[in-house]
Structure 1
Amino acid sequence: MAYFDQFLEVHSLTTERAFTAAELSAMKNAGVPEVTVGLLERFGFANASQRYFTVNPLEHAALLDAWGVDSTRCFVFMRSALGALFASMDDDKILCLDAQQGVSNVVEGEIAPLYVAMDMFSLNNLLDEKGAAPPARSQMVTLTPPLSKAKVFDKCKTEVVDFVEESMRLAELRQGKLKSYEGVPKRKAAPGQAKATPHASANPKDQSAATKVEGIRFPDRALQLFVVANLWKQGLLGEDVITEALEPIGNRGDDLDEDEKIDAALEALSQLPLPSKVTSKLDSLAFVLDFEIFFERLIGVETGGEADYKDLRSLDGISALAKLESLDLRNLSLPYGPELDLAPLAKHPALKTIMLGVGAIKSVKSLATISTLERLGVPHGIDVPPDLPKKLAPLVVRVDDCG
């Protein structure tokens, strides 16, 4: 990176303020990639409302090394109050390292600001809605338990801690292993240095999630996907199981196009046996945005929520979810898909709430056989099914068309 020294010369001028137009121009003239300069111009205040900080790359090389990233092939120029690192690479690319989730992505062009914006969305939620105290320059906001364990922000508590100590702790939790797309410059192990391996658990139960066992498979791949997503969200299915199934697809890079990756991923998950002792504990089934992001990151695609792979076409086998109390079909049933048959829900022993989607329904008569049903949601703008049994009419409520 021939422009690194020139970047440091300009960078040393700024500590607690934004870069000036002259400094940004000097970076461009020094050959600093346009996407890096663009991010610094848009987000790169030394202390931007205590959300983002420009940083000295020389002070962050050890952090990259702790995550197994080759710090000689990229340098950190900005970080967020959540501890996310943004590093410049050759070929106008940006390495985005999410320390809270242990995920890294190499992005370029217009995609890079999107990753910063996603991080900003999380920050705004934590610092504004949750009222977390903003960190000082030497601090960061961390999540307890780690987001990689809790899965969603709502289950995490926030705490302001020392940035360097917490960043190193997060790297140690992951044993320096990032989940990443192709393109992340990996640090080579020193001669004679063994590769890090996960610690063996003394408790056999801790290893059971990664063990291949006989279990339930749902015929509809979208239903299998949503069951996996909700098991993951509720902490009933280990992240390692999903990663093992999907990461090889993402590692194939450009060998597959986006549609082929999605198809391969759905097929891989459809072959994943779900232990009945786990599925029997699932009490709700709905679209999980956090899982969609996790799923697409693992396989290396970014659909922006527009893909139709989430279109649910069959509920066959759903009786296996014996403790299911809430079924939300919004975002699962698309308007142009085939009619969804609700017959598999007949006489379900536990369902209390059903939210219909915007897709066509074959019949709702079978819902009258669910003695536990208390609420039937119908999206605004969708007609109440004409064959709705009279006994269900008092249970109907109007709801938004998305969850």
Structure 2
Amino acid sequence: MRQRSLTRTAMGAVAVCALAGMVATAFAAAQTRARSDAAKPQPAVSVETVADGLERPWGLAFLPGGRMLVTEKAGRLRLVSPDGKVSAPVTGMPKVDARGQGGLFDVAISPDFGKNRLVYFTFAEAGEGGVNGTALGRGRLADNAARLEDVQVIWRQSPKYASTKHFGSRIAFAPDGRLFVTTGERSDDQFRVKSQALDETLGKVVRLEPDGTPAADNPFAGRPDAKPEIWSYGHRNIQGAAIEPGTGRLWTVEHGPRGGDELNRPEAGKNYGWPVISYGREYSGAKLGEGTEKEGMEQPVYYWDPSIGPSGLVFYTGDAYPGWQGSVFVGGLAIPMLDRLELADGKVVHEERLLEDLGERIRDVRQGPDGLLYLLTDSDDGRVLRLKPGKAGKS
């Protein structure tokens, strides 16, 4: 059984044993360990503002030389220099549907950017009659970086539905040059069940060639009843995706409902359970689905209860922060903070919550070419932050 969140693990053990008298003891033990984890020494870091004045920034990608591409939810793509100068919006972007949770989402550059200057981005694309869906676009960044040229939509979530919720959506390039795109299941009761349907791409991870076509060796390729781009299914709303260094494996984080946010390692053709199983409950407090486990459905590597609202995911490979190399960092929206997870043998063995006094929702987290961590804060006056080793504080 894979590791689960401490409090829910204890509660789950009580349920299995069916011994109501153990509840208080198990809960206390879980809380003691949680406090012990939080009390572990942390490297001293200071929080430095690189750039501000960004309207709900969503995704960040580094260009060669250290400049950053930053998306704003309303549909703007900005260039941010290492010294914090924010450009005028890059022209050539398609129109986005920014209603509700919709907008311009993630951004990534081609692994061969030095040769082809290709930039990939995800966004909510409107359709006729008020419907919309997640789409993947691609364009060539002009030499002056002021515009995207030859912009095309190379993949679309299908079908589109009338909803303003749960679009996903992150991009992750694998070592073989193919890319993963994550999608949401659009939230509402009539849509969420589509996470289990293989003939639609709601609540999925899809795996694509660089031109947006399905990878030929995907697990459902050749099946007439399935979309050939699907890699894994049964997801809710994945807002973090990263490739594990050394293994090339994809990891994701996704929002649960009321509790049950998940860290997963999606594998080809596997079903991750939503909405049949979950460690969360309906927002009303009502029971959700069939419980926490079911034959043929995968358990999360880790889960959070209560929800932290995970967004952004990175494996840290640098050596700027003592003891942090190899850690996974996740941004928190529902609980504004930066979460650090230590892994051993594919399991989470330690969780450490950082920057809880920052008071800002963290939408994305990336490692810069300088070996430092960069964060995007989610607000109307959003910032690019940099964590610098040294005396704790913020600026």
Q: Higher helix share goes to which structure?
A: 1
Higher relative contact order, chain-length normalized (CA < 8 Å, sep 6+): 2
Q: Higher strand share goes to which structure?
A: 2
**TM-score scaled by length of structure 1:** 0.23
**TM-score scaled by length of structure 2:** 0.23
Larger Rg: 1
